Structure 1
């Protein structure tokens, strides 16, 4: 997912919290809540870039 209220930050959908969606950065980090109308599906390029960043973080040992 892409949160347009967070400078197009790419994240994983984690669940619903009341009227908000819980999102978590692809590369790890704290979750945040977003308004569903400000969230969109990532483009293939955004998805690839986020996955690349996640794999790089994993190879550095920042993710398990």
Structure 2
């Protein structure tokens, strides 16, 4: 039972969950190149940002 409550194992588990969540978020969302808000990723064609109203394309990556 002490192995489950170990702070190191708990930190590793929380880190793994955080990385998995970040990976899923980056596959579903991207940043609008104009206002930098998180918007749904455009898989095909062009989408319109709900905040600024301008169009964005799938080629815009989260890290830009």
> TM-score, with normalisation over the residues of structure 2?
0.31
Q: Which has the higher contact order (CA 8 A, sep 6+)?
A: 1
Structure number with higher strand proportion: 1
> TM-score, with normalisation over the residues of structure 1?
0.31
